Structure 1
Amino acid sequence: MNLNFTFFFIFLIFTSCKPTNENKTQKETIIDEHDSQEYPIIKIGDDWWMATNLNFKSDESYCLENEEVNGNKYGRLYTWKSSLTACPKGWHLPSKKEWEKMLNEIQNENESPNTDYYQVIKKDTLN
């Protein structure tokens, strides 16, 4: 597995998509209009994030080890091109700035900002 694929997989595990509508009502789930799948969402700071990985099946997506059960468990993997259109309506992949803001929010909320979880995410995505 090459480094770019590994990074993209890790990126999707922790982020999925982020809403573009700043006046979004506070809900605990959203329904994807692509395929009617329901996804939990979580508010971190002022922004909403998907709490699970996206599992929308497109022509350019696939499951880990090509096993559909892995898609249901971990979400699907996307080519860069398909990732740009796979997000539910009103959502998008986060920019580096949005990602860093979310990491800072997590760090500020934790009593111990040097937790393994925070350090792994920061190391693997911001370097």
Structure 2
Amino acid sequence: MDERNNKVYKTIRISNQVWTAQNLDYPVEGRYSYCYDMDSTNCETHGYLYRWDTAINIDQCEYGVICDPPERTQGVRPEGWHLPNQTEWNDLVNKLGGNKVAGHILKAQSGWGSSNTTHFQCVA
């Protein structure tokens, strides 16, 4: 549970990794978080979207500046969770059959026309 707003997020296990199966529904005060198409009903349905510097919670990460997060970055995630690093993403993709297969089975059915057999619900 996210103690900041008492929201409980669905999770899924893929191999030995546990992932949230939906976007965060938490606005970050004073940082760049927004609803798709600037419509608040989209946040209720799909959660918030975050600019990269907001997601990793690092200042001085303006356009044109490469900002790599530390190995384990909580960023905007609830306590006890972290943003996946490149190694974790690569492991996930490889476990699901590689780049040509993984995207199709990770994407949400709504709006993407994919199978989403993993129930991952990737929307962005």
Q: TM-score range by the shorter chain?
A: 0.5 to 0.7
Paired letter, 1:76? Y
Higher strand share: 1
Count of residues paired in the alignment: 86
Q: CA deviation at 1:81?
A: 2.5
Say whether the 8 Å CA contact 2:11–2:21 is kept in structure 1: yes
RMSD across aligned positions (CA): 2.4
**Aligned pairs for 1:21-60 within 5 A:** 31-59=1-29, 60=31
Paired letter, 1:65? D
In structure 2, stretches of 5+ residues that fail to align are 57-74, 108-124
TM-score when normalising by structure 1: 0.59
| Distance in 2 of aligned mates of 1:98 and 1:69 | 31
Percent of aligned pairs with the same residue? Answer: 30
Q: Which has the higher contact order (CA 8 A, sep 6+)?
A: 1
| Distance in 2 of aligned mates of 1:116 and 1:90 | 26
**2:9 counterpart SS class:** strand
**Aligned pairs for 1:34-113 within 5 A:** 34-59=4-29, 60=31, 61-84=33-56, 85-107=75-97
Task: Point out 4+ residue stretches in structure 1 off by more than 6 angstroms.
Answer: none
